[in-house]
Amino acid sequence: MPTCAHVLAKTLKAGGVTTLFGLPGGEILNFVEAAKRVGIDFLLTRHEATASLMADATGQMLRRPGVCVSTLGPGAVNMTLGVANAYLDRSPLLAITASTATSAAPYATHQNLDLSAVYRPFTKAVLTLDGQDTEAKVRRAFRTAMTPRMGPVHIALPSDVACAEDRQTVDPSGEAFEPPPIPPPSSEAIAKMSSRLRTSKRPILILGLDLGVSDVAAVRRFVEALNVPVFVTPKAKGMLAEDHPNFFGVCAGVSGDGAIVDFLASADLLVGVGFEPVESEKLWHQTMPIVSIGPLSIASGSFRPELELEGQVVTSLTALSQAELGPFAWDPTELVVFRQRLASVVAPAKTTGQGL
Contacts of 66 (CB under 8 A, 6+ apart): 21, 54, 55, 56, 57, 58, 59, 86, 91, 92, 93, 94
What does the pLDDT profile of the chain (356 residues) look like in tens digits? 899 999 999 999 999 999 999 999 989 999 999 999 999 999 999 999 999 999 999 999 999 999 999 999 999 999 999 999 999 999 999 999 999 877 766 666 666 778 999 999 999 999 999 999 999 999 999 999 999 999 999 999 999 999 999 999 999 999 999 999 999 999 999 999 999 999 999 999 999 999 999 999 999 999 999 999 999 999 999 999 999 999 999 987 665 678 888 899 999 999 999 999 888 877 788 889 999 999 999 998 888 999 999 999 999 999 999 998 989 999 999 999 999 988 888 777 666 666 65
In this prediction, residue 206 carries a pLDDT of 96
Record the pTM.
Answer: 0.89
- In this structure, the answer to whether residues 169 and 206 fall within a common structural domain is no
Domain of residue 89, CATH code: 3.40.50.970
Domain that holds residue 290: 187-346
- In this structure, the answer to whether residues 144 and 54 fall within a common structural domain is yes
- In this structure, the answer to whether residues 318 and 276 fall within a common structural domain is yes
Q: Report how many domains make up the chain.
A: 2
Contacts of 344 (CB under 8 A, 6+ apart): none
In this prediction, residue 255 carries a pLDDT of 58
- In this structure, the answer to whether residues 167 and 103 fall within a common structural domain is yes
- In this structure, the answer to whether residues 227 and 314 fall within a common structural domain is yes
Per the domain annotation, does 354 fall within a domain? no
In this prediction, residue 134 carries a pLDDT of 98
- In this structure, the answer to whether residues 196 and 339 fall within a common structural domain is yes
Per the domain annotation, does 284 fall within a domain? yes
In this prediction, residue 254 carries a pLDDT of 63
What size, in residues, is the chain?
A: 356
Q: What does R_g of the chain's alpha carbons equal in angstroms? A: 24
Ordered alpha helix ranges (H), 15-104: 29-37, 48-62, 74-78, 80-89
Q: Can you say how many angstroms the Cα of residue 110 is from the centroid of all Cα atoms in its chain?
A: 35
